[in-house]
Amino acid sequence: METKFKRVVIKVSGEALADNRDKTVLDQRKIAEVAKAILEIRELGVEVSVVVGAGNIWRGKLAEKIGIDRSTGDYMGMLGTIINALALQNAFEKVGLMTRVMSSINVPQVCEPYIRRKAIAYMNSGEVVIFAGGTGNPYFTTDTTATLRALEIEADAILMAKNGIDGVYDQDPRKNPDAKLLSHLSFHEVVEKKLEVMDLTAVAMLERSNIIIRVFGMKSPLSFKGIILGEDVGTTIGKE
């Protein structure tokens, strides 16, 4: 089957991995679903990398609440992404995917340091690369990590699968039932209208690139495969 993209970065939020029923940080079923989705994409011949967040483990608001300074709190979040990356790696390998975790923070006992050329080489050989540790610097979100890595590895697209929402709306659809889905947007429009797609700094970084962002609902692993095959669902964000 012909695919729309050859190399992608998939952004997985930490919240998407949490068990909302038991109020635990990781849900075996959700992690397995992500693994199945990645396997479906790899079987199409697409090169895959993943950027994972840590919102299920640690959030900046908690740092502020308990008196931890911003930089320290951000580093704690970066460590949380490594925990999630290792959980995903375990799930990926269980379905037969060769997987590498590469971190911007040096933790040699559990993952490799991020090196751009090695990441590309792994992807070229069919391995899935999980980017952990954020950018390695405080004051940047994992959205920025996704953008930065996509630019560095020359990805075709950033895929952002959302829980409970199927694209970008002009208003919050959870608060306003009359909110309208915006099927196509430019990077400039997202920044100008301050739409809550991802960190606006991350969006602005893409304005001169040919990378596109696809925002869609993660109702099932088939959602990922459909996007790869060119289904026009959710919201597409690109240059003017």
**Per-domain residue ranges of the chain:** 7-156+194-210
pLDDT of residue 86: 98
pLDDT of residue 49: 98
* pLDDT under 50: residue ranges of the chain: none
Structure tokens that stand for 52 in this block: 């994972």
pLDDT of residue 178: 86
pLDDT of residue 179: 87
Q: Are 114 and 105 in contact (CB under 8 A)?
A: no
- As a whole number of angstroms, the distance between CA 170 and CA 233 comes to 16
Structure tokens that stand for 197 in this block: 């797609």
pLDDT of residue 216: 86
pLDDT of residue 233: 85
Residue 139, Cβ density class (10 Å: 0-12 exposed, 13-18 middle, ≥19 buried)? exposed
Fold of 7-156+194-210: Carbamate kinase (3.40.1160)
pLDDT of residue 185: 94
Amino acid identity of residue 55, one-letter, is G
pLDDT of residue 43: 95
> What pTM value is reported for the model?
0.93
pLDDT of residue 171: 83
Nearest to 95 by CA among 132, 130, 44, 43: 43
Q: Angle, to 10 degrees, between the axis of helix 28-42 and the axis of helix 70-94?
A: 70
